[in-house]
Structure formats: structure tokens, C-alpha cells
Amino acid sequence: MKHLRLALLLLPASDLLAASRDDALNLPDVVISANRQVQARNDSSAANTVFTRDDIERLQSTSLTDLLSRVPGVQIAPSGGRGSLPGVYLRGTTSAQSLVLVDGQRIANATSGDSGLQYLNVDQIERVEVLRGSRAVIYGSDAIGGVIQVFTRRNADLGLQPRLKLGFGSNRTWERSLGLSGGDEHTRFNLGASLDETAGINSTHASFPSDGDRDAYRNQSVSLNLSHSFSDDWEAGFNLLDNRGKSEYDNSFGRYDVATGRSVGQKPYTDYTVSSASGYVDARLSEGWQSRLELGHSENRDTKRDMLSDDFSVFNTYRDSINWQNDLTLNDRNSLILGGDWYEDRFHGSTTFSENSRWNRAAFVQHRFHGEWFSTELGLRRDQNQQFGNRNSWSGTLSLPINPDNDVLLSYSEGFRAPTFNDLYYPDTQYSNPNLQPETSKSYELQWRSQLTDLTRLEASLYRTDLSDAIILDSTSKPQNVASARVNGFEAALRQDLFGWQGNLAVSFIDPRDRDTGHTLARRARRTLSLDLDRQFDRLGLGASWQAISNSYDAPDNQGRLGGYALVGLRSRWAVTRQVSVSLKVDNLLDRQYARARYSYNAPDFSNNQDYREEGRTWRLAMTWTPKL
């Protein structure tokens, strides 16, 4: 298998198109999400970050958001401990302005725009790719800030390979997972299941006595992948990921009691499900024509309940989708992507919306020229939305190879985002607006990619994003197309191997502003830094992490200042035998108190603000068993 991976890396760009995705998922130097095809990372026009399964195990990430916080230009602002709703800010854009995919399928909730990243179990993830910058030509709506794609666990080797993992840690946290993968040269499969539980922390300061409890979290996750190669030119497969469980949280406003006319405490929780299923046929129809057809279905189900009352609410969204893409190699220097998309969102719940479904269909084309002195990429997409009609998105990139070790890229891209069902159709017109128009963006970027030495790799980007018709809440909490914003930014990722230590440094500087008021956009720090150092000593692996975040503001009017902070973490992994390994990780080693978001309680005018609590020093001990059959 290792020889196969090396052979893939040595393939020319045209032959990489025909390479198996299952084999490519283990390679750190290729990217799949940029153009929905396997290509070398350095050949992609998108600024990108890739985490393989080896990276996930080396970093011992306990959540997907923990992994994403290492990406330059990505900031995470959760509303409490594990399992709480995170704000994900990619290049200064909001969670709803970045597209999240699981095995190619959109998983965002059509009512709120959130993707439930906090519910995706890392033990069922094989690979994560992050594209920084708009990719609307390939993906359409929501890809303004970028794209985050999760690939579920795959079979890495031939033959049967079972695995078992048990972990225990702070706050009465238990992690259990098992899996079995196998296959031969034609058929591969992977089946995995996980159960995570934690007593959690008290996420908020008590406004009611009922708020003084811990907010527990439970996650049950199952993944299944099956693929079969009928010949060298035909392959079909099926992917499934299902995450469901219970997440407790605090409602600091309490519940209005009709009998007393007063607010009373609650113990609310969410029963959630985030799932995705897809099937595909991948065919090499001729020497220069690769075609892939995908059918998908995703669900984002949310039922909110209260332990102290019979109150409940249901917000379930469902999505069906079809994608057909054709990759054409015209000659040694020219290639073409032609494709079409269709998806439909549906809503079912305890609240009656004026509209409960919406479809979108699109066609796109992208041409790439690869020359000796320069390369170009030019794309166009036309979306037809059931409510908003036709939308065009353009992108273009000019790549200049300064020398074999240095490349400069200049690019322009457009993007848009259709308003959510909550924005448009929520029955209380104080909180919805059927006259909203899609948000639009224009982005400009300069990239420099350099292999400074055999052991040093630098990737840097200077960019600007202009947002128009941005949707914000006015003083009455009604969404309006009133804002325009711009984000100026610089980010860099440096990989350095020194004296056996592998170092990965990510830095980001952004200036995200509301152009109408001049205020800094809420919950976005201007400076972030992430540093990971790792080294393998025979059977013992050691690592350390350092993250530093500058101050930010919680409110759009730049009230509620959130102080900057720095966190230190340590990790180790010992291979006891070839089949058994033990790992130990300590996060927030110095037990720093910090906050990434604020909340208001018992005060409709938001005059009484408090910080969401974050976990202090935490530890986790885990054992992994991978017997050979």
C-alpha cells in the first residue's frame, strides 16, 4: 500500500484524475475538494489545508473544531463546553457563509445555516480538507468564506483490519470506538461505531438555580463505506455517516410561565441527528474523459426539550442532491470541467413556515491551461434558485512559476449565499423577512507558495473580501439586507523539520469591518497563531501545541470586549507493541480562564452580559488496539 501511495504522488496531473479517491485520502500532498477531483495540492488554485488520519492521531484531536482551530484564517467561538454550538469564522465570514460537506454532501441545517460540526465524531473521520476563499463556481451557494469537507473512515490496507479504542478523561468523559475494515484489490469496506459521553461543565453563570448544573453531552456515531471496482475504468460505492445523541445547554432567559406571569428556570437539552448518505459511480469513459455521478441525502434533525416541563420544539431539515461532473483532458496543456448540480431542501417541524421546501439547480464549467511560463484557470457557474432566480458566479486564477520551488498566484472569485428558512419564512414576522435577497461577495487574492529548503515549506496569502447585502439583525431582531462589509487579511502556514522535530506554524492577521459603521465584525480576533511541534523517538511520540488569540468584540456595535488568551497543550503516544498503543493528552496546561463568546440573561435589552465558560485544564488517557488478522 505504501508503494501505491508513492506511485500516486509521482503520477502526472492528467493521470491523477483517474486515481482512486480511497487511495488518495491517505496522501497529505493531494487535495480533492478544490475541483471535486484528485490533484496535487500545489496544482490547486485554492489556498488549502489538509489533515490526514495520521495527522488526527498525531494531534490527538478530541473534536473536529479542535482540529479546525489549527487552520490559518479559521476561528472557533463555541457557546460553552463540548457539544455546544460553535461559531466557525473562516477568513472573517460566518458559519452560514462557509460550506460544509461530508463525502461531498451538504450537511448544513436549512433553517439556521449551522452545520453541526460539534456533533461529527473524529473517530469516524479519515480526512479533513479546508479551502480558504470562495469556491462558488464549483459549489454554488454558501461557499463565500471557503469549504470544509470531511471524509469518513476508509480501508487503508488489504485484508481485514479490526480496531478498538477506549478513552477516559476529565469531567467524567468516556470515549469508546470500534471498527472493522477489509477488502481486496476490487472491493473495500469500512464499518465503524463510536460512543462518547461527558458530564460536561456548567457553561454559564447561574441566572436561575436550574442553570447551576453541568451540561452533559452524548454522541453515538456510525460510519459505513463500501466500494467496488468492476474494472480499471469503472467503480461504484456507498458512504454513510450518522451522528446522534443528546446535548444539554443553559437557557439564561428561562421559560415564561403563563400562570405566574414570570420567567422560571429550565433544564433544556437537544436531541440531535446529523447524517449523510451518498452513492456514486465513477467511470473513465475514454483516455481523456473521467465522469462521476453522485446521489446524496442528508438530514439535520433537532428536537429541543426541557427536563422541568413538557415544552419541546422540532426543527428537522432534509436534503436530496444529485451531482454529475465530467473531467476532460483536452491535451497536455488544456483541461475542462463540465458539470451540473441539483438539490432540494425540505423542512418539517413543530413550527409552521409559509414555505417548507426550496430547490436549486446549476451548471458549471471551468477551463484550466497549464503552460511552461504561466497557468490559468477560468470558471463560470449559473445557479437557478426556486425563489431567487438566476445567479452567475465567476472565478479566475493566474499562476506564475517563478522557479521550480516558488509559485505566485493571482485570483478573483465571486460568491453568494441564499437566506435560510428562518431568515425568510419564520412565522413571527418580527424575526423573519420574506423580502431578503442573497448575500454576495467578491474576493481578490495573492498567494505565494515556496519550498524554501528540503525541510521548509511556506504558503502565504494576502486577500480582500467585499460583502454586499449582508444579512444582519436590526434593533428589533428582524433580518435585513442593510450591511456591507470587507475583510482584509494575511495568513501563512509554515512547515519546518528541525533536529527531528516536525513544526507546523499557522498565523493570521485580519481586519474585518462593517463598512457602514466602521465597527469590527463580532467575535473575530484580528490576530491568531497556532504552533504544533511533534517528534517520534522510536516507539514514543511527543508533541506540544500553543495557540494565541487576540481580543475581539462580542457585539456588532463593538460592546462586550473578549480578552485575548494563549493556551498550551502537551501530548504523548507510546507504541507498547505493534498492536497496542497508549496516548495521553493535556489541554490548557496552565488552566487559563478565557472566553470566546458572551451571552445575556434575564435582560431582553442585553444589558447584563456574561461570558460563556470554557473548559479549564483537561486530560485524556486512551488505549488503541489494532490486532492483525
Closest CA to 506 of 531, 476, 487, 489: 531
In the numeric block, which cell numbers belong to residue 177? Answer: 470506538
The residue segments making up the domain with residue 461 are 2-625
- Summarised one tens digit per residue, pLDDT across range 563-593 is 999 999 999 999 999 999 999 999 999 999 9
Task: Kindly tell me if the per-residue pLDDT of 13 is higher than 80.
Answer: no
Task: Kindly tell me if the per-residue pLDDT of 20 is higher than 80.
Answer: no
Q: How many domains does the chain have?
A: 1
Confidence class of residue 311 from pLDDT cuts 50, 70 and 90?
A: confident
Confidence class of residue 427 from pLDDT cuts 50, 70 and 90?
A: confident
Question: Given this model, what pLDDT does residue 602 score?
Answer: 45
- Return phi, psi of residue 563, to 5°: -70, 155
- Summarised one tens digit per residue, pLDDT across range 244-269 is 999 998 876 667 666 676 777 788 89
Q: Is residue 598 within 8 Å of 611, Cβ to Cβ?
A: yes
CATH number, domain of 11, equals: 2.40.170.20
Confidence class of residue 628 from pLDDT cuts 50, 70 and 90?
A: confident
Distance from C-alpha of 580 to C-alpha of 539, rounded to nearest angstrom: 11
Angle at alpha carbon of residue 590, lines to 585 and 596, rounded to 5°: 90
Sole residue written with cell 511560463: 373
Distance from C-alpha of 354 to C-alpha of 91, rounded to nearest angstrom: 34
Highest mean pLDDT pick, 47-56, 181-190, 212-221: 47-56
Distance from C-alpha of 62 to C-alpha of 82, rounded to nearest angstrom: 9
**Mean pLDDT over each residue of the chain, to the nearest integer:** 90
Distance from C-alpha of 107 to C-alpha of 113, rounded to nearest angstrom: 9
Which pairs with CB-CB distance under 8 Å and at least 24 residues apart come from 39-45?
39/13, 40/9, 40/13, 40/16, 42/407, 42/449, 43/13, 45/377, 45/397, 45/399, 45/409, 45/411
Distance from C-alpha of 389 to C-alpha of 88, rounded to nearest angstrom: 29
How many C-beta atoms surround the C-beta of residue 602 within 10 A? 12
